[in-house]
Amino acid sequence: MTKAKIIGLGSYFPKKVLTNKDLEKMVDTTDEWIVTRTGINERRIADENEFTSDMAYEASKNALEDAKIKAEDIDLILVATLTPDYIFPSTACLVQNKLQANNAAAIDIQAACSGYVYALSFAKSLVEQKVYKNVLIVASEKLSSITDYQDRSTCILFGDAASACVVSLNGKGLEIESVYLGADGKMSDLLILPAGGCKKPATLDTVKNKEHFLKMDGKEVYKHAVRRMGEATKKCLEMANLHESDISWLVPHQANERIIDAIAKRFTHLPKEKVYKEVVYKFGNTSASSVGIALDLLKKGNKLKKDEYILLSVFGAGFTFGGCILKNLG
Ligand SMILES: CC(C)(COP(=O)(O)OP(=O)(O)OC[C@H]1O[C@@H](n2cnc3c(N)ncnc32)[C@H](O)[C@@H]1OP(=O)(O)O)[C@@H](O)C(=O)NCCC(=O)NCCS
């Protein structure tokens, strides 16, 4: 069977840079603490009037241009985000309108930081079964809108950005060899936005108690992230009938350099520079957007050689996790 491919990639970064030095003036932290514990140097913050759908639109335009197809050729838009413009309508519908992708169905996917890989799984199946021809995946996050900039344990981690790709049967690009998805709903309390849903609609109390900001048990999340991302890499290697040593590039979710290093331990043959970390250094944790940005920068940096395998590994709130193996067709 012909396999689905990523035929175009794009990303978008807001202009405003928030450095560790800036954060030193906002909370009781230091550049040294942040770099040592996370690897993050700076992150981007969207403008007050710049929203998830706007960043998604910019990243989508870049991906469509890279794929050399028009918006009207897209027949499905999947938007992965945990910071939608609204609870409803979906951000995917807003993006469909901005792009004038009038022939496309549109739906949001909420799998937190694993959203891009979840979307790749759905796009692969739908394209290979010939339900849709060209699927646009967009991951976009305005995490600054749910971050408490008085909470030093979380505000140092997150940033805003978007990434996008076009998945199709035709054309060249990155062939999708295997995708593994997993979830563990027992752990949903460890990383959560407590209020704003139907269980706790906005009230004066929820605002006063800062329940519209994300809450995280960092230590526990860290342990689960390492374990689940490790499992996911193993599962998608098995699904593709490949071995660790076949992988040329490891692109884990860009949340924390130490988590990435822990995942990389399994890949003893890989030189340091083939474990991708540039995104966590420069943009922090951009949730669903993270691996898509890494892929875009990796491809456009002309670093990928023909027939190389790239392994994506992701983890997020829910918990959700997953892995994906891509082959560069050149
Ligand atoms: C958040 C994280 C960086 C914290 O690192 P850690 O080594 O676990 O640090 P701890 O939470 O144990 O905190 C150690 C100390 O540093 C303090 N601290 C926390 N944030 C700090 C900051 N920004 N600056 C300085 N000190 C800080 C803590 O208060 C604690 O002080 P104490 O020992 O006096 O109580 C780490 O747990 C992590 O990366 N977790 C995973 C987060 C993640 O990636 N989430 C998204 C998954 S998709």
CA of 161 to the centre of ligand 1 (A): 23
- Rounded to an integer, the average pLDDT of 293-306 is 93
Atom 29 of ligand 1: nearest residue by CA position: 153
CA of 34 to the centre of ligand 1 (A): 9
CA of 284 to the centre of ligand 1 (A): 15
Catalytic choice (93, 113, 155, 324)? 113
* Residue of 23, 110, 222 to test ligand 1 pocket, by largest number of atoms within 8 Å of CB: 222
User: What is the chain's mean pLDDT, rounded?
Assistant: 97
Q: Two tokens at 210?
A: 């800062």
pLDDT at residue number 156: 98
Nearest-atom index, ligand 1, CA of 255: 44
pLDDT per position as a tens digit, 104-163: 999 999 999 999 999 999 999 999 999 999 999 999 999 999 999 999 999 999 999 999
pLDDT at residue number 182: 98
> Does residue 113 carry a catalytic annotation?
yes
pLDDT per position as a tens digit, 20-49: 999 999 999 999 999 999 999 999 999 999
Where exactly are the structural domains of the chain?
5-171, 177-328
CATH topology match: 5-171 vs 177-328: yes
pLDDT of residue 207 exceeding 90: yes
CA of 26 to the centre of ligand 1 (A): 16
The CATH homologous superfamily to which domain 5-171 belongs is Thiolase/Chalcone synthase (3.40.47.10)
pLDDT of residue 313 exceeding 90: yes
Strand pairing class (174-183; 161-168): unpaired
CA of 154 to the centre of ligand 1 (A): 8
CA of 219 to the centre of ligand 1 (A): 7
User: In terms of C-beta density within 10 A (0-12 exposed, 13-18 middle, 19 or more buried), how is residue 1 classed?
Assistant: exposed
This prediction's pTM: 0.97
Ligand 1 neighbours (beta carbon < 6 A): 29, 33, 37-38, 113, 152-153, 156, 216, 218-219, 221-222, 225, 255-256, 285, 315-316
pLDDT per position as a tens digit, 208-239: 999 999 999 999 999 999 999 999 999 999 99
Atom 28 of ligand 1: nearest residue by CA position: 153
Atom 31 of ligand 1: nearest residue by CA position: 153
CB 127 within 8 A of CB 110: no
pLDDT at residue number 175: 98
Type of residue found at 202? A
- CATH-assigned architecture of domain 177-328: 3-Layer(aba) Sandwich (3.40)
Closest to 99 measured CA to CA, from 76, 124, 140, 71: 71
pLDDT at residue number 330: 85
Catalytic choice (20, 62, 134, 285)? 285
Nearest-atom index, ligand 1, CA of 225: 47
pLDDT confidence tier of residue 1, bands split at 50, 70 and 90: confident
SS (H, E, C) the chain: CCCCEEEEEEEECCCEEEEHHHHHCCCCCCHHHHHHHHCCCEEEECCCCCCHHHHHHHHHHHHHHHHCCCHHHCCEEEEECCCCCCCCCCHHHHHHHHHCCCCCEEEEECCHHHHHHHHHHHHHHHHHCCCCCEEEEEEEECHHHHCCCCCHHHHCCECCEEEEEEEECCCCCEEEEEEEEEECHHHHHHEECCCCCCCCCCCHHHHHCCCCCCEECHHHHHHHHHHHHHHHHHHHHHHCCCCHHHEEEEEECCCCHHHHHHHHCCCCCCCHHHECCHHHHHHCECHHHHHHHHHHHHHHCCCCCCCCEEEEEEEECCCEEEEEEEEECC
pLDDT per position as a tens digit, 178-206: 999 999 999 999 999 999 999 999 999 99
CB 308 within 8 A of CB 327: yes
> Does residue 165 carry a catalytic annotation?
no
Closest to 295 measured CA to CA, from 328, 262, 259: 328
- Rounded to an integer, the average pLDDT of 238-249 is 97
> Does residue 285 carry a catalytic annotation?
yes
CA–CA distances in Å: residue 28 to residues 33, 42, 75, 211: 10, 17, 48, 21
pLDDT at residue number 303: 84
